[in-house]
Structure 1
């Protein structure tokens, strides 16, 4: 089980800060730097930029301090018997700085961990164990999906935010010109970079995000097909129906009917005797 000793979200130090642990902290320490800092760890030294993270080993001597007047960071002190093997499995670098991908999402996860600490409760340890596992796995996953190309890597955090926005607000009618302007790119170059990073055109992600919402509404609501189309950002019901049929393989009405039909239980559940008695 992973254990969280303490954590801090958006810890602000208007007059700066110096952290000096010549014998290590006794815990694994994750730090997301939101301000410039000078860092020394295990005999090496770096000047790190905002949106950089590090994980220090429990026995690593380390020291860091602000390079600008104020300093802000997120941090976790954690440990547990499974920590070392999990970090090794995830191939997370230790005692060296790593540029953060999607730093806003990392920061939100630290905030959720802090809320779990404040909330307490009889299941707190298990919740924190699950949340820490999730945090570290997401950290490892983000490292693996970093684009290899240097000229696209610089846009990866902003493109990730845009893609998250498309899937979290599919009902909004974004134009490609608006999305390109978000990160200061021309329409054509934005489309090129987006496709290189995510492997599909931005227009296809816009369609998929709307259709995923449409499928959810058809499965879980009683709105008419026209209402579903409007809630998913379509101005034309006929266009919605054609696009749904093209990408999903069924009309919206047929999809709703299929979703309502009872489905057979998996074999494992049958063998476990989970079928209701006759």
Structure 2
């Protein structure tokens, strides 16, 4: 089922906003300024706070009800503005939605569903291209921190806090951006540092384990073997024997 909800109905419906002028939005606990022509999808019951950046504010807005999977299971970031590469097209979709909502024809609900499917496809395309403009630098800085400090107590929650994203959204963006999950990147950085220390220097394996962020040597040795194919001790022996 899909339908556009009347404004007097309760806040149990998602909200979709398309800005036509610059605006400030409450995102991740703070007010941030965003340019014109952004889309924001708010789930039911989420706090909605936004205001104009100038004397004029214009937007397209709709509150709707849907049990369609492409809405309920969307990969769109919730509550975060997404820059639209083709705002005119999305504005036309809004106009068509408004027209269909006030018509009393046999295919009204089906037409609304089709229009919303097109809208969500366009928003997904926009969100994927927006990774580079909205979050790429933050993700790049996070990856640099991981590579430079692999021994830090990294977790998905810690990393998500660093870039002010939800843990689930961070994992999706990180994998899309770098082709590897954030925790896999942490593990690879730790093993890379361990190999360097095993090759260069005489540190004890327990000290190397601690340096690389492992709480116990057994876990370190097991993960090292999974990644390299041999234990840290065997790796050091094989490398030094050929030097």
Give the TM-score taking structure 2 as reference length.
0.48
Structure (1/2) with the larger helix percentage: 2
Give the TM-score taking structure 1 as reference length.
0.42
